[in-house]
Amino acid sequence: MRRWRRRCQIECGKVAVCSMRGANSAVQREVNRAAVLRLLSQEGPLTRQDLSLRTGLTSGAMTNIIRYLMDDGIVRECPEETITPEGGLGPGRRPIPLELDVSSRLALGVSVSSAGVEIGLYNLGGDLLREADWGAPGIRPEQFVDAVTAYASKVRSEVPFANERLMGACVSVPGIVDTERGVVKASPRIRWESVDLAQMLSSKLNTRCLIENSMRAWTAGEVLFSCGGRDESFIAVYAGDGIGASIVVNGETLPGGKFGAGELGHMVLDMQGPSCSCGSRGCLEAVASIDVFVNGVMEATGLGHTVTNFDEKNDEHRHLFDVAARLVREGNKDALRVADITAKYLATAISNSINLLDPDHVIVTGPLFEIGPITERVRDYAAQMVFRGPGDIVTIRERPTDEHSWTRGAAAALFRKYFYTPASLVCS
């Protein structure tokens, strides 16, 4: 499937269109429609002429594509009063730019972690329409499915046209997730293993269900809804209760041959180090997670408190983290020593990844990277460790997470697979 897809698509500006001689016409139409939708999502509003130039498609082909998409309610013309004579926004007349009708399609984004469950209903623009969350540490798959089903039923009854516009649900799960089969293969953080979650959930929801790794889902939100990353190659790294990464090449996340790509938290850095939740020793998660950092600062400064299975929604855990972070920012020598060790481990793992994958840049996010001295030390150590030619620099960029980042990312992952990808190329 992947080889066929590569043969079927070529780069044309920032989009891929079908140019395969003798290609099945139905497949060709799907590929080209998806290319138009991606462009409108990323750069719209655009005129028909803009779209033809950007895709390399003829005006006649573009007319047919736009007619189909407008009939389906996905694309609409911008209101006439907003159009300038040049096609921009303001008073005037044609040419009329086109835009996505972001309300035409909806998705349920669901995030499950060791702390609990978060759910959000999103439109194509990434706007949050409904939300719910609850702490449920140790939730079992059956309980999770029942809870999501109940919420989906509630949303469908409350939101106008939700039944008609809902494309499906995507659940983001930390760990190794077989996205093609919808199976959670191994998630030590929530203690799920070999869970056929897509089958369990789709039978209850009566809609398509996508199961995705948490970081790959977060990155989908970054690519689809943020202003950057759409055609770049980068590594996204999260450091908090767990540590994970996502690898993006030309705007597409890489799952890996066995869906384990990006498990940065289980890169072994100290073979004699502490035990990890995965069963190994000295993993990055075991030496540099938020638990290790907070407990290290508490011990080094004599405060004596400890954290187990850090939960951002737990007031006591959050308070202890805030205390540890404040001590680092204030320059407490003992706290800075712990922060330095944490930064060195993180920088080592990131540097190894840079040397292996050669990304354009690295995006870092999560609570640990909200502490300025840690992030700065990561940058300094990485600059020393990364192998580069003279003048070649890999930028490490901070990107804060908000309370909806994980559910929005899950919704984005579903939109990208089932909406912006040609149907014939999707492995459900």
> What are the DSSP calls for 259-325, one per residue?
S-TT-GGG-BS-TTS-B-TTS-BSBHHHHHSHHHHHHHHHHHTT-----SS--TT-HHHHHHHHHHH
Whether 77 and 115 map to the same domain: the answer is: no
Could you tell me if residue 302 is left (phi over 0), alpha (psi between -120 and 50 degrees) or otherwise beta? left
Angstrom distances, CA of residue 271 to CA of 276, 278, 322: 11, 14, 31
Question: How far apart, in whole angstroms, are the C-alpha atoms of residue 1 and residue 421?
Answer: 13
- Quick one: CA torsion of 208, 209, 215, 220, rounded to 10 degrees? 10
Domain boundary among 84, 100, 116: 100
Domain boundary among 71, 100, 129: 100
Query: How many CA atoms, within 13 angstroms, populate the side-chain half-sphere of residue 354?
Result: 25
User: The domain that contains 292 carries what CATH number?
Assistant: 3.30.420.40
Query: By C-alpha distance, which of 159, 186, 161 is closest to 175?
Result: 186
At 21 the pLDDT is: 47
Whether 245 and 374 map to the same domain: the answer is: yes
Q: Are 179 and 421 in contact (CB under 8 A)?
A: no
Q: What is the largest CA-CA distance in the chain?
A: 74
- Quick one: CA torsion of 113, 117, 118, 120, rounded to 10 degrees? 120
Whether 254 and 373 map to the same domain: the answer is: yes
Question: How far apart, in whole angstroms, are the C-alpha atoms of residue 384 and residue 387?
Answer: 8
Residue 113's domain comprises 105-223+405-425
pLDDT in tens, the chain (428 residues): 333 333 333 333 345 555 544 446 777 888 888 889 888 888 889 999 999 999 899 999 999 999 999 998 999 999 765 555 555 555 555 678 999 999 999 999 999 988 889 999 999 999 999 999 888 778 899 999 999 999 999 998 899 888 889 999 999 999 999 999 999 999 988 899 999 999 999 989 988 999 999 999 999 998 888 755 456 789 999 998 889 999 999 888 888 888 889 999 999 999 999 999 888 999 999 999 999 999 999 999 999 888 887 777 778 889 999 999 999 999 999 999 999 999 999 999 999 999 999 999 999 999 999 999 999 999 999 999 999 887 788 899 999 888 899 999 999 999 988 877 766 444 44
Say if strands 98-100 and 75-77 run parallel, antiparallel, or are unpaired: antiparallel
At 64 the pLDDT is: 93
Whether 185 and 299 map to the same domain: the answer is: no
Q: Enumerate long-range contacts of 267-271, CB under 8 Å, 24 or more apart.
A: 267/349, 267/352, 269/345, 269/348, 269/349
Whether 330 and 203 map to the same domain: the answer is: no
At 410 the pLDDT is: 97
Q: According to the 3-state scheme, what is the secondary structure of 156-207?
A: HHHCCCHHHHEEEEEEEECCEEECCCCEEEEECCCCEEEECHHHHHHHHHCC
Domain boundary among 44, 73, 100: 100
Whether 201 and 254 map to the same domain: the answer is: no
At 13 the pLDDT is: 39
Whether 243 and 383 map to the same domain: the answer is: yes
DSSP states of 352-385 as a string? HHHHHH--SEEEEESGGGGSHHHHHHHHHHHHHH
Q: How far is CA 42 from the centre of its chain?
A: 16
SS3 391: coil
Number of domains in the chain: 3
Backbone angles phi, psi at 324, to 5 degrees: -60, -45
Whether 392 and 411 map to the same domain: the answer is: no
Whether 327 and 382 map to the same domain: the answer is: yes
Sign of the dihedral defined by the CA atoms of residues 309, 314, 315, 316, in that order: negative
Whether 35 and 68 map to the same domain: the answer is: yes
Strand partners, 178: 183
At 364 the pLDDT is: 96
User: The domain that contains 46 carries what CATH number?
Assistant: 1.10.10.10
At 389 the pLDDT is: 81
Number of neighbours of residue 10 by Cβ within 10 angstroms: 13
Whether 127 and 26 map to the same domain: the answer is: no
Whether 234 and 328 map to the same domain: the answer is: yes
